[in-house]
C-alpha cells in the first residue's frame, strides 16, 4: 500500500509498505523564520479540529493544567484560537504558556510562546506566511534545518511510529558509518541491542522506527485456579519471555518499506 503526506515545508512524503497505511493521519513539524520574532520558531501541523479535541481532553482529563482564557480571531481565511494555560513545573512551581492554533478546512497549525503573550502570538501568525493545500497546512516562510530538521510523524499498524526526516547533511551525519542491512529500498540499522528501535535510510529520507507495544487482551475476572492450572503456571515460570514474534513481524514490514521525501522545489 502507498500513501502520501504533506511536510510542513510543502514537501511530499511518500510511504509504501506491506501494511495498512490508511488508518492513521500524519503530523508535520518544523522550524520557520517568523518576521515578527526575527528568528526561527517551532510549529506543528495537525489534521483539522485538533485544537478543539485537545482543549476538551485537557479540561476533562488533566486537572493539573488550567486553561485560563481563550479567544478567537478571524485570520487569513481561517480561525485563530489563542489560549493561555497554567501548568506545573518540575520544581513544583507553575508557569504560563500562550498557545495558538490556526484552524482551516484542511489542517491546524500550532505553536506557543512562554508567558502571557497574546498580542505577540497573534502577530506571529499574522506575519508568518502559510497556506492550505489538499493535504493540510504548509508554511511558505523559510524553513530551517536547525535546531531541528522538518519531520513527519506517521503511525503504521504492526510496524510502529515513523519519524521521517529529509536525507540532508544534518540527518545523515547521525547515520552509522558501518553498512546496514540491505532492504528492498534502502538500509536498516538497529540503534542498540537493548532497543527495538530501528533506523531506515533511503536515498531521500532518514526514518526512525519505534515499534508499538502489542495490545494486551482484556483480562477476565479473577478466579481460583485449579491444581492443574497452578502446576502449569509453575512449569512455565522459568521459561524465557520471547519477543521474537514481534521483532520478526516488524522486520518483515521494514524489509518492504519505501519512503521518499520529495522537496517542494523538485516538483516545480
CATH of domain 36-140: 3.40.1000.10
Each residue of 158-215: pLDDT tens digit? 888 999 999 999 999 989 888 889 999 999 998 776 677 899 999 999 999 998 766 5
Supply the pLDDT for residue 254: 83
Supply the pLDDT for residue 257: 92
In this model, does residue 243 exceed pLDDT 90? no
Supply the pLDDT for residue 159: 86
Supply the pLDDT for residue 244: 41
pLDDT band at 233 (very low <50, low <70, confident <90, very high): very low
Question: Does residue 4 or residue 158 have the better pLDDT?
Answer: 4
Taking residues 4-21, what's their average pLDDT?
92
Q: Where does the chain hold its CATH 3.40.1000.10 domain(s)?
A: 36-140
Supply the pLDDT for residue 147: 93
Q: 121 is written with which cell numbers?
A: 502570538
Supply the pLDDT for residue 129: 98
Amino acid at each position: 500500500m502507498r500513501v502520501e503526506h504533506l511536510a510542513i515545508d510543502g514537501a511530499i512524503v511518500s510511504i509504501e509498505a506491506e501494511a495498512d497505511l490508511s488508518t492513521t493521519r500524519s503530523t508535520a513539524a518544523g522550524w520557520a523564520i517568523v518576521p515578527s520574532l526575527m528568528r526561527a520558531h517551532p510549529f506543528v501541523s495537525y489534521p483539522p479540529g485538533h485544537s478543539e479535541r485537545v482543549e476538551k481532553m485537557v479540561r476533562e482529563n488533566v486537572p493539573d493544567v488550567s486553561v485560563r482564557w481563550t479567544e478567537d480571531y478571524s485570520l487569513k481565511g481561517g480561525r485563530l484560537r489563542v489560549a493561555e494555560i497554567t501548568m506545573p513545573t518540575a520544581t513544583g512551581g507553575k508557569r504560563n504558556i500562550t498557545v495558538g492554533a490556526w484552524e482551516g478546512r484542511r489542517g491546524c497549525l500550532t505553536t506557543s510562546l512562554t508567558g502571557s503573550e497574546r498580542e505577540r502570538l497573534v502577530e506571529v501568525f499574522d506575519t508568518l506566511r502559510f497556506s492550505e493545500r489538499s493535504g493540510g497546512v504548509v508554511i511558505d516562510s523559510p524553513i530551517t534545518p536547525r535546531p531541528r530538521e522538518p519531520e513527519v510523524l506517521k503511525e503504521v499498524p504492526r510496524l510502529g511510529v515513523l519519524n521521517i526526516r529529509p536525507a540532508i547533511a544534518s540527518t545523515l551525519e547521525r547515520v552509522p558509518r558501518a553498512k546496514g542491512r540491505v532492504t528492498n529500498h534502502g538500509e536498516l540499522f538497529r540503534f542498540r541491542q537493548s532497543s527495538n528501535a530501528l533506523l531506515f535510510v533511503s536515498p531521500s529520507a532518514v526514518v526512525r522506527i519505534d515499534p508499538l507495544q502489542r495490545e494486551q487482551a482484556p483480562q477476565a475476572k479473577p478466579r481460583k485456579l485449579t491444581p492443574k492450572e497452578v502446576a502449569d503456571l509453575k512449569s512455565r515460570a522459568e521459561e524465557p519471555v520471547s519477543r521474537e514474534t514481534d521483532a520478526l513481524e516488524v522486520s518483515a514490514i521494514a524489509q518492504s518499506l519505501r519512503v521518499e521525501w520529495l522537496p517542494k522545489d523538485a516538483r516545480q
